[in-house]
C-alpha cells in the first residue's frame, strides 16, 4: 500500500469524527498511542508492537488529514537520505539529525 492510499483510507474511515473531535483532542489521542507504543517496545510481544506501530501511524495520518498535509509529499524531505546532510548513511556530526 502506498502512503497516500493509506492516508486516504484513514480519511474515509475517520475524518468526520476527527473533525468533530478537533486537532487538540486528536493530538492527545495520538500521544496516548505513542505511550502505548513505548510500553509495547519495552515489554510487549512482537504482535503488540506491530499493532501499536500501526496505531501510531494511523493517528499520525489523522493529524495530517486535519492539518491538510499530504504525507506522501511531506516525506519527500527524506527522499535523498538525511534531511540535514542529504547523505545515506547520515554524515552529520552530533546527535541530530
Q: Check if the beta carbon of residue 62 is closer than 8 Å to that of residue 18.
A: yes
DSSP per residue, 18-42: HHHH-HHHHHHHHHHHHHHHHHHHH
Residue 41 has a pLDDT of: 98
Which domains occur in the chain, in start order? 3-78 (1.10.287.1080)
Q: For 49-90, how does the pLDDT look when each residue is reduced to its tens digit (9 = 90+)? A: 999 999 999 999 999 999 999 999 999 999 999 999 999 999
d(CA 11, CA 6): 9
Q: What is the pTM of this model?
A: 0.91
Q: Check if the beta carbon of residue 83 is closer than 8 Å to that of residue 97.
A: yes
d(CA 58, CA 43): 22
Amino acid at each position: 500500500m502506498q502512503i497516500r492510499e493509506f492516508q486516504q483510507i484513514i480519511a474515509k474511515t475517520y475524518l468526520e469524527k476527527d473533525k468533530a473531535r478537533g486537532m487538540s483532542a486528536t493530538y492527545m489521542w495520538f500521544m496516548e498511542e505513542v505511550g502505548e507504543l513505548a510500553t509495547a517496545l519495552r515489554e510487549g510481544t512482537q504482535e503488540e508492537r506491530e499493532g501499536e506501530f500501526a496505531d501510531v501511524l494511523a493517528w499520525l495520518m489523522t493529524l495530517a488529514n486535519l492539518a491538510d498535509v499530504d504525507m506522501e509529499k511531506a516525506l519527500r524531505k527524506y527522499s535523498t537520505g538525511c534531511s540535514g546532510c542529504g547523505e545515506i548513511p547520515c554524515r552529520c556530526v552530533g546527535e541530530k539529525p
